[in-house]
């Protein structure tokens, strides 16, 4: 069989930027053509970016897509003989939705193959059946010279075990007997996703004796972050190639005699099974997520309220890396309950990071509110209401700064606190994006230590990492006054919130520890208490800023629970 070169274009498309996305594709296609490729493959819905959501319902957007398709056809004329495989929404007629999630193979301004995705996911963060009609049950094949290439789109290839849909497109594809299969994907990443992809596609490749090419998009889109990590797999060797994670790449491979080789026709190096460590993954996912969120929303600078605690410290360190320390401002907002150490720790932290630190005391603001409350309602303001007032005063000041100077306010809550409502609505929940809202508190500490290790110095002062967590809204307050120790709480939360969606590495040890902690009447009572706290605070999470998704089940679109419900 003669050699066939094919380029994988792993790119950071922007949702709704049709002309910009075509420009990215054009540059990638030109590189592919220069390397002698016969085909360049882009990711799922690469024309619109994924997921386009209700943009597909917006007046005029479908007309923009039609116009962009004409521009796309014209763009292919600049690379004679090269086949472009592009993910696009395809119009359809008849009963059902007006669109299909499809792909086009285009060569020299002409469509030579059209295919629509058969399996439309409606779980976790996906809601494709809201917009698209399933495609016909068929196995699309394109012949290039003596090579037969099959095509699938993302979910089509995820049902080989037959558990989720009555249709398995792999069965038809294997019967069509292509030489290899290309799958277009928009697969958001989480801590277990890379291993899950490799295991699933390697098993399907062996079962059907089909080499596979998996092309994924990269970049942050609201809560979702896509890691790229496109790969090639063969029945004999498993995963034989992997593109960079969290970075754009256009890579040309060679296909010959049932094997994928590098662009020069040489055997590919072994792909390490282990991948990134969990903390390295969190680090890179958050940095890319913030970078793209700020860029796409038009923010150059961000703002963080610096309490001297671990959550705001980690948020500041990640923001400084993503956007540059010169584009990050910290504000410390001491009250009469703030310890001198917390203010001093903020000073040290910001000096270590090179971040500007401003000070805005809230003592007088809170006193004025207290007096106004007593004058109006005849009672002193005290207890939880007074604690929350301090958080809301801080949130108001930070939003004043954001409105006046145009900085994006980053909220600093972690998943443990958000889960049980240990946060103040319209106070510390204020902001436009949460970087660490899908990290449990124990992971916040671990990632902070990791950043220091990578830097080879104290970015985050040891005094911040070592101090007992406290909201400092009352005298001598500690988080453990209201919550179990975080190692205990986090184990319970992982089971109650994520459960069977935990990654393969976490599942068994977490469940074993959960069983140990919850044995007996005291453990059962603790679980019941934490479960009530989770359910009771759904209304807070519904009003909180979006958070970057890191784990298989994140708050937001990945966990859609009712507010007004009886849970037990």
The enclosing H or E element of 200 equals helix 193-208
What's the rounded Cα separation, in Å, for the pair 341 and 476?
13
What's the rounded Cα separation, in Å, for the pair 157 and 186?
12
Neighbours of 318 (CB within 10 A): 25
CA atoms lying within 13 Å on the CB side of residue 512:
5
How much is the CA Rg of the chain, to the nearest whole Å? 26
What's the rounded Cα separation, in Å, for the pair 168 and 173?
9
Nearest to 433 by CA among 327, 545, 293: 545
**In the numeric block, which tokens belong to residue 67?**
């116009």
- The strand order across the sheet containing 356-359 reads 356-359, 328-332, 302-305, 408-411, 433-434
What's the rounded Cα separation, in Å, for the pair 244 and 177?
30
Structural contact between residues 190 and 415, judged by C-beta atoms closer than 8 angstroms:
no
Report the Cα 198 to chain-centroid distance in Å.
Answer: 19
- Residues with active-site annotation: 44, 117, 154
User: If you ran DSSP here, which 8-state letter would residue 437 be given?
Assistant: T
**Helices and strands of the chain, counted as H and E runs:** 16, 20
| DSSP string of 257-279, one letter each residue | TTEEE-TTSPBPPPPPSS-S-HH
The β-bridge relationship of strands 218-221 and 224-227 is antiparallel
What's the rounded Cα separation, in Å, for the pair 175 and 139?
9
**In the numeric block, which tokens belong to residue 278?**
């969990």
Neighbours of 326 (CB within 10 A): 11
| DSSP string of 483-513, one letter each residue | S--HHHHHHHHIIIIIGGGS-HHHHHHHHHH
Query: In sequence order, what are the beta bridge partners of 241?
Result: 232
Beta-strand ranges (E) seen in 296-371 are 302-305, 328-332, 356-359
């Amino acid at each position: 069989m003669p050699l066939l070169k094919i380029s994988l274009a792993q790119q950071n498309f922007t949702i709704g930027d049709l002309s910009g996305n075509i420009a990215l594709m054009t540059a990638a296609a030109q590189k592919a053509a220069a390397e002698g490729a016969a085909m360049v493959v882009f990711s799922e819905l690469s024309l619109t970016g994924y997921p386009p959501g209700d943009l597909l319902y917006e007046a005029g957007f479908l007309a923009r897509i039609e116009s962009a398709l004409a521009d796309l056809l014209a763009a292919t004329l600049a690379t004679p003989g090269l086949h472009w495989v592009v993910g696009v929404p395809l119009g359809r007629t008849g009963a059902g939705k007006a669109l299909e999630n499809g792909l086009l193979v285009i060569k020299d301004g002409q469509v030579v193959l059209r295919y629509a995705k058969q399996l439309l996911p409606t779980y976790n963060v996906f809601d494709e059946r809201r917009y698209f009609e399933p495609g016909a049950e068929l196995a699309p094949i394109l012949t290039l010279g003596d090579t037969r290439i099959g095509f699938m789109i993302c979910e089509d290839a995820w049902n080989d075990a037959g558990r989720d849909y009555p249709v398995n497109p792999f069965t038809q594809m294997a019967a069509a007997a292509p030489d290899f299969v290309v799958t277009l994907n928009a697969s958001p990443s989480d801590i277990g996703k890379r291993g899950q992809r490799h295991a699933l596609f390697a098993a399907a490749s062996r079962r059907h004796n089909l080499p596979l090419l998996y092309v994924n998009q990269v970049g942050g889109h609201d809560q979702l972050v896509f890691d790229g990590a496109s790969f090639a797999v063969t029945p004999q060797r498993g995963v034989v190639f992997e593109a960079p994670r969290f970075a754009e790449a256009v890579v040309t491979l060679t296909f010959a005699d049932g094997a994928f080789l590098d662009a020069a026709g040489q055997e590919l190096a072994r792909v390490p099974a282990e991948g990134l460590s969990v903390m390295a993954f969190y680090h890179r996912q958050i940095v890319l997520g913030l970078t793209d969120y700020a860029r796409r929303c038009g923010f150059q600078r961000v703002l963080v309220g610096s309490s001297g605690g671990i959550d705001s410290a980690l948020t500041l360190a990640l923001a400084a890396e993503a956007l540059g320390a010169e584009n990050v401002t910290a504000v410390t907002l001491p009250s009469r309950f703030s310890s001198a150490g917390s203010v001093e720790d903020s000073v040290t932290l910001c000096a270590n990071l090179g971040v500007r630190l401003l000070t805005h005391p809230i003592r007088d603001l809170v006193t004025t509110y207290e007096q106004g409350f007593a004058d109006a309602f005849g009672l002193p303001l005290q207890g939880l209401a007074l604690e929350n007032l301090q958080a809301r005063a801080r949130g108001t000041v930070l939003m004043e700064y954001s409105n006046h100077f145009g900085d994006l306010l980053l909220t600093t809550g972690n998943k443990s606190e958000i889960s049980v409502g240990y946060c103040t609505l319209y106070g510390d929940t204020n902001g436009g994006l949460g970087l660490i809202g899908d990290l449990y508190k124990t992971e916040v500490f671990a990632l902070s230590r990791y950043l220091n290790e990578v830097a080879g110095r104290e970015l985050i002062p040891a005094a911040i990492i070592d101090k007992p967590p406290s909201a400092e809204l009352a005298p001598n307050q500690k988080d453990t006054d209201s919550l179990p120790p975080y190692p205990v709480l986090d184990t319970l939360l992982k089971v109650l919130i994520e459960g069977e969606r935990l990654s393969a590495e976490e599942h068994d040890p977490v469940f074993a520890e959960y069983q140990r902690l919850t044995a007996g009447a005291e453990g059962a009572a603790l679980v019941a208490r934490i479960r009530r706290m989770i359910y009771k605070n759904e209304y807070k999470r519904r009003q909180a800023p979006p958070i970057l998704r890191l784990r298989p089940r994140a708050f937001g679109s990945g966990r859609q629970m009712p507010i007004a419900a009886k849970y037990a």
